[in-house]
Each structure stands twice: as structure tokens, then as C-alpha cells.
Amino acid sequence: MTSKLPQSILFCCDHNAVRSPMAEGLMKKFYGSKTYVQSAGVLADKDIDGFSIAVCAELGIELARHKSRSFDEMQKLGDELSSFDLIVALSPASQKEAAKITRFYALQVDYWPIIDPTGIGEGREENLVSYRKARDQIIKRLITKFGPPQAEL
């Protein structure tokens, strides 16, 4: 069963360097500018992962300019986390962090347990396989939640 596109959505994971930037880019590619989309991490201590950039580039999604940010950094920059219609947590740590926000605000938080592809493969090709698997899990969840892409891949 598909849901109506929210006006705003925040994807989150551990470092905002792998899964959540992929989800942000895929959401923008699939559903255009109909939804305000951002991503964050529990921490922002890493740069965007090169394998994330590579597997999204295969679908025409550019992530190289992504700047990792944490929940705290978003709030310091003026993004009010309570203003998002939907927060999608892609890791257990980010689910826990998102749940803290719901103690004070009535927000919908979905948990999509997407694999962490970092460190799974040995060598470039095996790494790309694991990152594609994470990317494809996100794609499946997006389509299940919001229906088929509204933009061409």
C-alpha cells in the first residue's frame, strides 16, 4: 500500500555518509521537487563515501557535493527537525535518535533497516556489490512506500 508523498522528509543514518545521502538522492530523483528532502546522521564525522557516490552515479544521481551533517548541525543551521512530516531512520542508532525527537513533537518516524555496506566486501568489485544491495533496498522501500518513480531513471 503506497502513501501520499509527504511535504517534507528527513532520511537519517549513523554518519550521513552512506545510506541517508543515497536515500536523499534517490528520493529527489524518483519524486522530483514535490517533497522537500534532507538527510542527517547521528554524527557527521565522515565525508560522503566514494562507493555511495559511484552506485548512485550509475542511476544518474550526483552525490559528490553532499556535505555530511548531524541532527545537531541541522538544528544549529536553522532546520527545525520538528517541521518534517516524516523521518525515515535507516539504522538502529538513527532510529533511537529520531525517537528522542518524538518525545516532544508528534512526528511520524519509519524505520527501514537498510544494511550497512561498509566493510562487507574485499576489493572494489565486492564493495560495489554490497553498496548496490543497500541502494536497491532503499529503492524497494521508496517504491513500496510512495509508488513507482515519477521521473525517468
Please check whether residue 153 lies inside any domain of the structure: no
Please check whether residue 27 lies inside any domain of the structure: yes
Cα separation, 15 vs 22, in Å, equals 12
User: Residue 148: its pLDDT value, please?
Assistant: 93
pLDDT band of residue 122 (cuts 50, 70, 90) is confident
Please check whether residue 152 lies inside any domain of the structure: no
C-alpha closest to that of 88 among 4, 27, 10 = 10
Which triple of cell numbers denotes residue 21? 545521502
User: Residue 82: its pLDDT value, please?
Assistant: 81
CATH number of the domain to which 87 belongs: 3.40.50.2300
Cα separation, 79 vs 28, in Å, equals 18
Please check whether residue 117 lies inside any domain of the structure: yes
Please check whether residue 2 lies inside any domain of the structure: no
Contacts of 75 (CB under 8 A, 6+ apart): 81
Domain total for the chain? 1
Please check whether residue 3 lies inside any domain of the structure: no
What 3-state DSSP class applies to 110? strand
Q: Give percent of the chain with pLDDT exceeding 70.
A: 97
List the domain range (segments joined by +) for residue 75: 8-146
Q: What is the mean pLDDT of residues 21-42?
A: 94
Please check whether residue 70 lies inside any domain of the structure: yes
Please check whether residue 1 lies inside any domain of the structure: no
